Structure 1
Amino acid sequence: MIKKIIAGVCLIFSAAGFAQENNASPYSYYGIGDVKFKGTTENRSMGGLGILPDSIHLNLQNPATYSALKFTTYTIGASDKARTLKADDGKETANRATLDYLAVALPFNKVGFAFGLMPFTSVGYKIQDNKVDSESQIEYVRRFNGSGGINRVFFGGAYKITPKLSVGADFQYNFGQIETKSIVTLPSNAVQYPTREINESFYNGVSFNLGATYQTKLKKLNWTSSVTYSPKSTLKSTTDRDLATITLTARDAEIVQDQLATVTVKDNVDMPSVFTIGTGFGQSNKWFAGVEYTSQSSNTLGARFDNITNVDFKSVSRIAFGGYFIPKYNSYNSYLSRITYRAGLRFENTGLVINNEDINDTAFTFGAGLPLGTGFSNLNVGFEIGKKGTTKANLIQENYVNIMLSLSINDRWFAKRRYD
């Protein structure tokens, strides 16, 4: 009965969470939006560190860790992100709550399997741009809106080759819809009606993620190393494009005056390869500290409207430091001693260059794993405080606080009973 209740709640959360507008960043204007973090609240609270195989927590970043699980694991995570968008001429605030992942893992001795659903990218922005044409000296206003994103269903497996070495792979199906709109308004003595362009794009495609972990003893310490690789992949896209002249009412409602064109465009989006390597030291059920480096090849993604000449893409690099500490995991008289305390730092060059300025993202993270009852299930809380972008070169700086919450429920399946 409890399993049916959990499954029902998860389906309700997934239907509501993935359908909502889940971003409020002007930088999601480029490419296919902001790439979401592929990991749990536990990992994210340690700066995004995805090195550790764990017997009770599902690690979504490296499929080789599935074979380390000892229990069937259900996990669901959500977050609430508050942003302050700062520019030279002022600032605005935005807040978005999202479902981050929903997954189930099943262990079978040396083999482990996992499947689930998570967002891959997200789009959400409202931008107004006032410009003067260099030739005619006519001032015009452009408004850009965007929403949607791409989701990911995954299924993966891992095999423990030796007690020290595990390998694994994820198969991922990516799908979603992104809608963007631009409205260009000129003075009435130049052009009578504003021009509107709506792009409704549908994406689908498959991708893969390969991983390996290695653990051994170095005197009294456990040494863990991890590596993952995602080869280049392709997303197929179909875009329905609608061009029209419109009038805007006092409440910005749009009334079509003349339908100019409706076309369907099919294209492929090349997704870059990603390589991650990490290592760390610790003591089982006591503490761990590690470092992880990610490199992503550059891509040719651009804006979804006209050709923007002040934007470039280059290779992505990210480095994360983090770890955890448990005062006394088996304490009987102190709940605080059984809590897992996590913290980390993350430094990322997103690969996006605007007006010759690199768009970087840095954050400090911390959190805690709160045991539920006397079993191995736990409630995880995390906080991420960071900064993305810059106010230089007329750009926007995002200062954000992200509150993360996840539930990890563990149960033992397929165990032989000694007594009926």
Structure 2
Amino acid sequence: MKIEIRNLTKVFGSQPLHGLQLLENGEQKDEILKKTGMTVGVDRATFSVREGEVFVIMGLSGSGKSTLIRLVNRLIEPTSGEVLIDGENLTKMDSKSLIETRRKKLGMVFQNFGLLPHRTVLSNVAYGLEIQDVNKEEREAKALKVIADVGLKGYEDSYPSELSGGMQQRVGIARALANDSDILLMDEAFSALDPIIRKEMQDELMNLQSKLGKTILFITHDLDEALKLGDRIAIMKEGQIVQIGTSEEILENPANEYVSKFVRDVDRSKVLKASNVMKKPEVLMTQKDGPRVAVRKMEEIGASSIFVVDEENKLQGLLTVDDAIKAYKEDILVEKLLIEDLYKAAPDTPLSDLIEIAAQTKYPLTVVEDGKLLGIISRVSILSGLVLGKESKENGVEAK
């Protein structure tokens, strides 16, 4: 695992170890505050993050999520517990080793951008390398590359005050990337942006992640943002992690009433992907099959068309029963009668992107990866994915 968090706890107050003992004796956060005046910021958090994963921690204000991310890089000292990065225990490092680990492995992106107003974009992005004594030519070359990566090429000589909020946050991300850190810690990074720019930054982060494959620990109070960005999500309440899972797992099986309330009004079409609703074709036709074989296969399942693939399962097209009969009667090669203008979705295409397309086409949508046919999606599949999912969620809430 890239990051391992083990029983990480933070108690704010004059006698944190006493507060920790009360926690271990089973007392709750509110009881400890009332008795001692001490606040439990994080309560025995345990989780791990895989290399290249976007792990989102979400919760309402006061849930402990921002404290947790600051414990990860020891901007706040933990009361107890362990933080391991690549197997190295940060909680046992001396100051020198900790600073070195932060510089080389941990990049931080804050909500308030944290840019130096008197420095240009180039100088801001290169700042981390500058304090590491990297020579000017090398650090500017690295900075220029990541500036281009985040879509700010041409703004190298601009100052923060000359940029929009979204552009300033891109500078913040570029600064974290310039150090070539393996891990990005992002604390409410897009919360200060207006909704349109926020969505653009979410899309930009997903695009960067597809190219760079960083390990990202992302903090947010916005469930839609968590569901969109996270490979997995941890939901926090009162300092505790109450559930960890994928978007689908949390939507389908909320751990308790608190999580159920969070997900009750989620637009499932924005969360479900093509891979969640696709089905394997009942039968397929290969290029070596003739028209009579195609008709027989369609008769077996009562279909009026069949998908055609090559020996590597790469999609070639769709053959209708009328065209199969025509090919047989008129001795025409099947390949010449294939319908090739089919909609091809990637497995991770959001269901919301497919609804209108499915309504306008008379053929099933195909789910394709590297040219290979993974499955098909009919209009019925889309509707059942939305309706049945909603029903199961409602039934789960009623049962609690």
Scaled by the length of structure 2, the TM-score of the pair is 0.21
Which one has the bigger strand percentage?
Answer: 1
* Structure of higher CA gyration radius: 2
Which one has the bigger helix percentage?
Answer: 2
Scaled by the length of structure 1, the TM-score of the pair is 0.21
